[in-house]
Structure 1
Amino acid sequence: MTLEACLLVGVGGAIGGASRFVVSDAVGLRWGTTFPWGTLVVNVTGALLIGVFVGCARVYAGAFDSPLTRDLIITGVLGGYTTVSSFSLQTINLVLDRRAGLAVLNVIASTTLCLIAAALGYFGTIWAVGGGA
């Protein structure tokens, strides 16, 4: 680990964290906060973006495939953007609020949609640029 890598992760984390705050808040204002829609949207879009980035790295290599770019984008920006800790706490709070059905829905929706989004991002990128799987 180099100082440059640490700085890139820190800068990326700040960008990702601020982006998460903006997106999650906007979604919560639009769709309400009874169910953690904002966190779900952030995690699914983050999974999609990780898939797109990895697809670009496979097809284009170069800048997309450099360790420092991965540090900045995947570890920093997307690591700061996605919110597994928030997802976990919100799920526990739903259970504590006696909304076990919503808690189960949150776990199933988050897991399923994030896996689908990551796969769509990756394979969609590969397909769009004709790079093969």
Structure 2
Amino acid sequence: MNVIQLFLVGIGGFLGAVSRYYVSSVMTSRFSTEFPYGTLTVNLIGSFLLGLLFGIHSGFDELMLFFATGFLGAFTTFSTFKVESVKLFVEQKWKPLILYIGLSYVLGILLAYIGFIIGMK
């Protein structure tokens, strides 16, 4: 790994983190409920886009470092998904918990697959 590659990942990560914060904030302000719409939204968008990128591009060059590793790595958030799931579990909010986990995994995998298929065409 060289300095340019680190820079690409860093700039992509910065833009992805800022974008995640913006999208999550918009979703939270529109849907002020216990359900974590913001995290679900960024993770589903990120799943589709990452699938699309890997479908379009088979190599792992600087473009993939910027978009896939940097931007989408920071845009999506597996750790926040886990913490929000634990919070719903601790608060015994079973219906939102099951819905959140189910939608996150099922739709996330489905959207990644759809993106990959579209990207391969």
Over aligned residue pairs, what C-alpha RMSD do you find? 1.3
TM-score normalised per structure 2: 0.93
Q: Which runs of 5+ in 2 are unaligned?
A: none
The one-letter code sitting in structure 2 at the alignment partner of 1:74 is A
Structure 1 residue 83 corresponds to structure 2 residue 66: no
The one-letter code sitting in structure 1 at the alignment partner of 2:27 is V
The one-letter code sitting in structure 2 at the alignment partner of 1:22 is Y
Find the counterpart in structure 1 of residue 120 from structure 2. 126
Find the counterpart in structure 2 of residue 131 from structure 1. none
Q: Which runs of 5+ in 1 are unaligned?
A: 59-64, 128-133
- Once the two structures are superposed, residues 93-112 of structure 1 have per-residue CA deviations (whole angstroms, 9 ceiling, x without a partner) of 11111213322221111001
The structural deviation recorded for 1:118 is 0.5
Task: Give, in whole Å, the separation in 1 of the partners of 2:60 and 2:26.
Answer: 33
- Once the two structures are superposed, residues 3-51 of structure 1 have per-residue CA deviations (whole angstroms, 9 ceiling, x without a partner) of 1111111110000000000111111111224100110010000000011
Find the counterpart in structure 2 of residue 57 from structure 1. 57
Find the counterpart in structure 2 of residue 14 from structure 1. 14
TM-score normalised per structure 1: 0.85
Q: Report the more deviating stretch, 47-56 or 37-46.
A: 47-56
The one-letter code sitting in structure 1 at the alignment partner of 2:42 is V
What is the percent sequence identity of the aligned residues? Answer: 31
> Could you list the runs of 4 or more consecutive aligned residues of structure 1 that deviate by over 3 angstroms after TM superposition?
none
**Number of equivalenced pairs:** 121
Find the counterpart in structure 1 of residue 90 from structure 2. 96
